[in-house]
Structure 1
Amino acid sequence: MREQREQVLRTFENLRKQIPLLYAVTLVNAVGVHLATGGNAFEWFSPLTLLGALLLWRMIFWIVFQRPTHEFRVARRELVKMVCFTALLGVGFSLWVQSLLTQYPDKSLTILLYSLLAALGAAYGLSSFPRAALLPLIIMGFPLAVRVFLMEGHAAKGIGVSLVLVLGLFTWLLQVHSRALTGLVSGQIALGRERNRAVAAELEAVKRADEDALTGLANRGRLVREIRDHLVRGPGPGGGSVLAICDLDGFKSANDAFGHAAGDQILKEFATRLQREFADRALVARLGGDEFSIFWKDGLSGDQIEEVGSRVCELASKPVAWDGKELSVGASCGLTEAGPYTSSESEFFRQADSALYKAKASLRGHWHLYDQPQFEADQRRANIEKLILSGSAAEQMYVVFQPIFCVETGQPVFAEALARWDSPDLGLVAPDEFIRIAEKLGVIDRLNEDLLDKALTSVADWPTNLALSFNLSAMQLGRSASAERIRDIVRAHSLPPERVQFEITETALLTDLEHAAKELKKLSGFGFTIALDDFGSGYASVSYLTELSFETIKLDGSLIDNVLENERARQILLGLVDLCHAAGAQCVAEHIETADQYRLARAMGCDFVQGFCLGKPTTSEKMLEALGLEGGPSRSPLGRATKD
């Protein structure tokens, strides 16, 4: 149907330029026939007058009034009218010429010449419509050729045969032209169809490149381009573009419990809610997973930001209906305004992501706006990362030691190594701060091995009855052949393994229990003492006592904090001490801050104690001096603690 439509429209457009030529040729030859037969007087109602007027009118109509059209019905109607008129004109012209041949036999050749020229001219004028072009040949040309063939004389018969052959050849050429024209139109239609398909495919590809397949929202790529092209930085607080990043709290639990279909429904429903709420003046996008983003290029007022943050969390809090169930999730949201500290599009993203992290860390289902204190904290963190990665941090770090005392003898048996960092650029950097960053950067094992080397250097000056206690990180235990590397570091200092104890936290074991157990077994086989640190602070500590072997267990300091005032806390502490002994391990009570806490720990059967009232973390030299281990008599603080 489409091919027929294109064929008709193309034919009409070509004929609109050719048909005036058809009428002009026919009119000229009609006048020529009239003059050849001796006609010179004008008569209103003669065949020539009627035929000429009709031809002249149609020629003027097609030149002046017939306009281009792209409507199939109009073009088809005009073509039908043209075919009918051509047939009628051909019949009238043919009858007129036949009558003239009868009246003027002496003018036959002239009449035939003009008539055949009219037929061929009309056919040529209709060549863009080959089927219609056959009409002048069939109605006018062939009858004339037959008439010539029937005349007397061999010359007339030869001319008649020749005319038939010429008209036949012309007819064949019109058929060839018709097929070629049809093929050309079909080819152009096919080419257009392929071009349209290619354009459609390109548009679909562009759409897929800019659209999230599941939710129909913009994807990360489109959001990045929008921010790149339309980000407005305000001169100070307020006035700049605003970006919100939110993710769904509890989504993973719902997805795991009910399956991916339920998870997809949650994502689609939340996307619909965001689109309905904010799409009129912001770009809503899905960044991936359960993380979404909203970008206001023209910014928001302070009140609007508060409203938006609360609204995002509120939209997520409404249950999602799925398969007869109501699925409940929440959302945390971080927002940022582009301002003087937004140095780039990636920094804009990072600030919103940092605000989201803070919102999730403080309280789920809440929002947070990125502010100046957070920017300063992020800058500090970035500087810490830079110093750690450059190796400057390792050079600036040093080790302090806190003694661990045997309750029975009152003598120090271990000294725990604690990392300290006093940066010329950042000031004091807390261990919790730089250890967490080093772990995230994946360099904590390298940093810890360097600290172990520094600690072992100090041990060379200690008496042989004082051992080193050193904390291992989860990442160290997660590395292949970590036990061998640690052993080699100790060997390099010519220190027997019996004088080194390694402390392992529960979080280190949670990372990869199976691999950590293998590495701990190797360390124990090398002769090192293994201690479980912060016992009682987690959920799975008791199970470790059945699966792993520890020589020492350090009770978490929180168990000591309120033990004097809380009877239940005392009962729990006593139970844990008994549990340690039942597992074949000695226990250490940490955070001993007062003499009363020390006496209670001793009464409950703790084997070792550690805390500020017994010895604060300090350098190796000061620790040895305080303990009287530099050649003088030993001075244990346990006696003083007992008397206090």
Structure 2
Amino acid sequence: MTSRQLHRPWFIRSKEFFRSGIGLFAVSVENEELNRSQSVALSTQIPLLYFILVTNSVALALTHLASAPLFLSAVVPAVLSVICLVRLVWWRRTRHVDADAATLARRLRITARLVPLLGVVFTAWALSLYRYGDAYAKVHVAFYMSITVIGCIFCLMHLRAAALTLAVVVIVPFSIFFSLTGNAVLVLIAVNLLLVSIAMTVVLFVHYRHFARLIESSADLKMKQLETQRLSDENFQLANLDSLTGLPNRRAFLSCIAASTLAGESRVAIGLIDLDDFKLVNDAYGHATGDRVLAEAGRRLVEFRQPEIFFARLGGDEFGMLIRGDLSADELMRCGGTICRLLRQPYQVADLTLRLSASIGFAVSDADTVSFELPFERADHALYHAKQNARGEPVIFSHAHESERRRTALVEQALAHANLERELFVVFQPIVELPDQRIVGFEALARWTHDKLGIVSPAEFIKCAERSNRILPMSEILLWKTLRHAKQWRNATCVSFNLSARDIGSLDAIQRIIRIVLASGMPPHRIEMEITETALVSDFGVASESLRLLKQLGVRIALDDFGTGFSSLTYVHRLPLDKIKIDRSFVRDIVENVAGQKVVKSIIDLCRNLDLDCVVEGAEAEEQVQILHELGCSKMQGYLFGKPMSAEAVLALAADEQHSARPAALRTV
């Protein structure tokens, strides 16, 4: 104390001394780092405190079980023990939970208030047992209180306010009570505990002062280190990490591939992973659910990660992997198969259980590879092939894929310079109704003959056109030619036309299609627009609105390739459908496949219950037709009834049918 402080009035000095004394029993909330360090220390020591209380109290209760009333010897200690055990469990559960400053301060204040309250209750209970039992039992009360309070004070050494308060509320009553007993032994025990408590208090003050100074002295340095590390981590994360999954991002992935290429590693495999139909999750349940699915997929990849495998999120639902080492094709397929099975496991999001598959495209580069662009493009092509032909499985880029890739490039170039108006034409495949095999409609199928490439398969040029906006003018040309031919049919035969994902994914495109229908003079009720599930994936809302506009026009809507996607039933009740076309994959082995027969029967029953028309595609054998007819299917389409034919052949078929009682669909066309 300075000389200036000594010359102040005594009552001011007394007031300040009183305030400082009171402050010893209060929890400071100004120093967040100190509070956090206290909480960490107490998270280990407080459970020990409650352990000491419970075990010592149970021992004292057992000593007085035969002499004291049941309420004091059993009920009270049982209730107090339960309270202690609850608090013990709470501290154990919260010790690893990171909390903010306000929460930490609140915990410390609650502890500082609860400890003396428990001290008063346990003290009152112990002293109430003193008058019961023999001399040994009375000494046990004194021993219980002295050893318990000493143990508890040591457990609270990092929370000075609680330790001091506990010492006061227990030791003062203890000393007074046993000093008044008149028993020399108990009086000496009381004096002894009082002196020991004073020494413990001095030790407590010294320890707490050193503890607080240590935290305070390291706080500034730690804050500077944390700030520097935080800025460094943020910069690294922004530049190289994906914030949603915590995986490296596209930039880091490409940098890793480039580094491996420059290092001349003998053999490196690049894998591209895509979650199949992930867009459906976003459309059905929202982007928040989709983000949680992506985060879970990233977590699974992290768990699978091995020293030679580098995973990254490339964007959207696409992930990348870089595998270093000379893996054989079989080893690579096994690795990819394991990842596909891992990502195929159900995703639990809140109360939803979502099921997705994942396709993987692999490409292998060797020491001769000078740039990563080529293997990356090959992996992308293998991924596309997997999604189209082996969904949910890994595919390795091969020589056949290289030929396919080059062919695709040729087709894309030819499409870019083609005269689509002149080169595109349509053919028609009949749809018949049993049992008389009467033709009830035709499906229009696109064909393209190029000057240099010759006849190009629809499987080739449609996919190429769908990757760009060329599919839009192509659809308009094909629709106009289809309706022009169909209008010449004299009977009420309907015509089916296939719309692409881009056609129904744009309201501008659908408006142009509507204008073509109106300008054609073809009655809308004789027109049927076929869509596939994949056409609905990109934007279900826009696709649904497009179909609604077509339905208002009077056009019929059919869902093609039904049963090939997991969300088929979702579309059935959310779209204005008139017809369902069962995919040919169910018909291929329906003669031997009993399970397939049951699936087809279920779909037919579903259509009947919903008053929807049903057509089975791919009928090519009499045995198939017989089984399908027995299952309840009356409308079919396939090579058995007629191959795709020209518009002129359709007119000739119609004319022939007028002069013959035999259904024309079964004739050679």
TM-score (norm 2): 0.49
Counterpart residue number, 1:499:
526
**Quick check: 2:642–2:665 contact (8 Å CA) kept in 1?**
no
The question of 1:245 aligning with 2:280 is answered no
The question of 1:438 aligning with 2:471 is answered no
**Quick check: 2:642–2:666 contact (8 Å CA) kept in 1?**
no
Once the two structures are TM-superposed, the CA of residue 417 in structure 1 deviates from its matched residue by 0.4
Counterpart residue number, 2:514:
487
Once the two structures are TM-superposed, the CA of residue 339 in structure 1 deviates from its matched residue by 8.5
Summarize the Cα distance change of 1:362–1:400 in structure 2 as closer, same or farther, 3 Å threshold.
closer
Equivalent residue for 2:363, pick from 335, 340, 350: 335
Counterpart residue number, 2:111:
none
Structure-1 separation of matches of 2:432 and 2:337: 52
Structure-2 separation of matches of 1:557 and 1:314: 30
After superposition, where does 1:172-571 map in structure 2 within 5 Å? 211-212=240-241, 220-221=250-251, 231=261, 242=268, 244-245=270-271, 247=273, 274=306, 276-277=307-308, 291-294=319-322, 332=360, 334-337=362-365, 345-355=372-382, 369-392=396-419, 395-407=422-434, 411-509=438-536, 511-542=538-569, 544-564=571-591
**Quick check: 1:560–1:592 contact (8 Å CA) kept in 2?**
yes
Structure-1 separation of matches of 2:598 and 2:392: 37
Once the two structures are TM-superposed, the CA of residue 377 in structure 1 deviates from its matched residue by 1.2
Answer with 490-499 or 422-431: which moved more. 422-431
Structure-2 separation of matches of 1:542 and 1:207: 45
**Quick check: 1:589–1:606 contact (8 Å CA) kept in 2?**
yes
| Partner SS, residue 593 of structure 1 | coil
Deviations 1:588-612 (A, max 9, x none): 3433334455456556654533322
Once the two structures are TM-superposed, the CA of residue 517 in structure 1 deviates from its matched residue by 3.5
| Partner SS, residue 476 of structure 1 | helix
**Quick check: 1:209–1:221 contact (8 Å CA) kept in 2?**
no
Deviations 1:336-375 (A, max 9, x none): 22688x7965334212433455577787998665433222
1:470 counterpart letter in structure 2: F
The question of 1:592 aligning with 2:584 is answered no
Structure-2 separation of matches of 1:426 and 1:478: 30
**Quick check: 1:472–1:504 contact (8 Å CA) kept in 2?**
yes
1:337 counterpart letter in structure 2: S
Deviations 1:560-595 (A, max 9, x none): 445555666556545544443333333334333344
Percentage of matched positions with identical amino acids: 30
Structure-2 separation of matches of 1:374 and 1:248: 19
Once the two structures are TM-superposed, the CA of residue 529 in structure 1 deviates from its matched residue by 2.8
Structure-1 separation of matches of 2:332 and 2:606: 53
Counterpart residue number, 2:169:
none
Structure-1 separation of matches of 2:339 and 2:522: 62
| Partner SS, residue 616 of structure 1 | coil
Counterpart residue number, 1:128:
none
Once the two structures are TM-superposed, the CA of residue 403 in structure 1 deviates from its matched residue by 1.7
Q: Considering only aligned residues, what root-mean-square deviation do their CA atoms show, in Å?
A: 5.3
| Partner SS, residue 549 of structure 2 | helix
**Quick check: 1:580–1:586 contact (8 Å CA) kept in 2?**
yes
Deviations 1:211-270 (A, max 9, x none): 547799986557656877985799xxxx977453354989x99x9697887666656666
**Quick check: 1:218–1:285 contact (8 Å CA) kept in 2?**
yes
**Quick check: 1:396–1:421 contact (8 Å CA) kept in 2?**
yes
Structure-2 separation of matches of 1:213 and 1:556: 40
2:410 counterpart letter in structure 1: N
Structure-2 separation of matches of 1:537 and 1:259: 22
Structure-2 separation of matches of 1:546 and 1:204: 49
Unmatched runs of 5 consecutive residues or more in structure 2: 1-228, 282-288, 344-356
Deviations 1:84-116 (A, max 9, x none): xxxxxxxxxxxxxxxxxxxxxxxxxxxxxxxxx
Once the two structures are TM-superposed, the CA of residue 621 in structure 1 deviates from its matched residue by 0.9
| Partner SS, residue 648 of structure 2 | helix
| Partner SS, residue 461 of structure 1 | coil
**Quick check: 2:438–2:665 contact (8 Å CA) kept in 1?**
no
Summarize the Cα distance change of 1:613–1:257 in structure 2 as closer, same or farther, 3 Å threshold.
same
Counterpart residue number, 2:637:
610
**Quick check: 2:437–2:665 contact (8 Å CA) kept in 1?**
no
Summarize the Cα distance change of 1:330–1:478 in structure 2 as closer, same or farther, 3 Å threshold.
closer
Which entry has the higher C-alpha Rg, 1 or 2? Answer: 1
Structure-2 separation of matches of 1:536 and 1:487: 29
Answer with 202-211 or 599-608: which moved more. 202-211
Structure-2 separation of matches of 1:456 and 1:495: 6
Once the two structures are TM-superposed, the CA of residue 558 in structure 1 deviates from its matched residue by 4.0
Summarize the Cα distance change of 1:458–1:569 in structure 2 as closer, same or farther, 3 Å threshold.
same
Structure-2 separation of matches of 1:484 and 1:311: 48
Once the two structures are TM-superposed, the CA of residue 379 in structure 1 deviates from its matched residue by 1.2
2:412 counterpart letter in structure 1: E
Deviations 1:9-51 (A, max 9, x none): xxxxxxxxxxxxxxxxxxxxxxxxxxxxxxxxxxxxxxxxxxx
Structure-2 separation of matches of 1:589 and 1:546: 20
Structure-2 separation of matches of 1:293 and 1:574: 43
| Partner SS, residue 349 of structure 1 | helix
Structure-2 separation of matches of 1:265 and 1:604: 46
**Quick check: 2:269–2:364 contact (8 Å CA) kept in 1?**
yes
2:362 counterpart letter in structure 1: G
Once the two structures are TM-superposed, the CA of residue 400 in structure 1 deviates from its matched residue by 0.6
Structure-2 separation of matches of 1:261 and 1:293: 16
Once the two structures are TM-superposed, the CA of residue 294 in structure 1 deviates from its matched residue by 3.9
Deviations 1:408-460 (A, max 9, x none): 77543322101123444445433333333332334433322221112123224
How many residue pairs get aligned? The number is 422
Summarize the Cα distance change of 1:367–1:265 in structure 2 as closer, same or farther, 3 Å threshold.
closer
Once the two structures are TM-superposed, the CA of residue 617 in structure 1 deviates from its matched residue by 0.5
Structure-2 separation of matches of 1:399 and 1:343: 46
Equivalent residue for 1:623, pick from 650, 653, 657: 650
**Quick check: 2:302–2:311 contact (8 Å CA) kept in 1?**
no
Summarize the Cα distance change of 1:226–1:628 in structure 2 as closer, same or farther, 3 Å threshold.
same
| Partner SS, residue 613 of structure 1 | coil
Structure-2 separation of matches of 1:431 and 1:593: 20
Structure-2 separation of matches of 1:315 and 1:306: 14
Structure-2 separation of matches of 1:623 and 1:616: 11
Deviations 1:510-532 (A, max 9, x none): 55444434333322322223333
Structure-2 separation of matches of 1:538 and 1:317: 18
